[in-house]
Structure 1
Amino acid sequence: MLDSLEKMLAKGMDNSLLRFGLGKGYLDLGEFPRAAEHLQRCVEFDPKYSAAWKLLGKAHQGQGDTAAARQAWEKGLEAARAHGDKQAEKEMTVFLKKLDRHP
């Protein structure tokens, strides 16, 4: 699946959904820097995309960058609250509380 998404990107297609798919795919593979790169582009396309903020935080956390993870989740909380995305809001609240307990 990642190959076909990368080919689409190489052909000049670029949007939030494509970047989200690439980011999630790389995150699932544990390739945190590549995941963060694509997810960062995703939220640049669509700052209201709370699921992308959530995964961006995970990608940063996977690289050991807890400050960037916190920032992503805080921005994600704003996006989730603005759109009534209760599940994402709940998850990111839990992630932030865990960071507070284990910085």
Structure 2
Amino acid sequence: MPHIVLEHGGLDVDIGAICRGLRAALAADPRVPEDIVKVRAYGTREFALGPEYTGFAHVTLRLLDKRGRDEHMSHATLLRDLLQDHLPAGTAISVETVTIASDSFRKT
């Protein structure tokens, strides 16, 4: 944890590079060890947007509940800014954070 999930459509970009950039950006924060950041992406060919958009990128950032609101907000802004810098004009970009209860999270 944290996990970054990128949903996207209509983009002609290197999604692997975007994933690596998202991971590196988040791991640059000293509160986030690089080895715990996981990123995955899901593309779709079918979507509907307003006429001003040709594609979309939506990030869901999943964080454990021990991370405060300020960290949620700063990470969301960081990831949004990275997407804005690396995706073409006409891309609908959004980022949301989700809090995961520590007592219910399991991993091996």
- Which structure has greater strand proportion? 2
Relative CO higher for 1 or 2, CA cutoff 8 Å, sep ≥ 6? Answer: 2
- Which structure has greater helix proportion? 1
Give yes or no for TM over 0.5: no
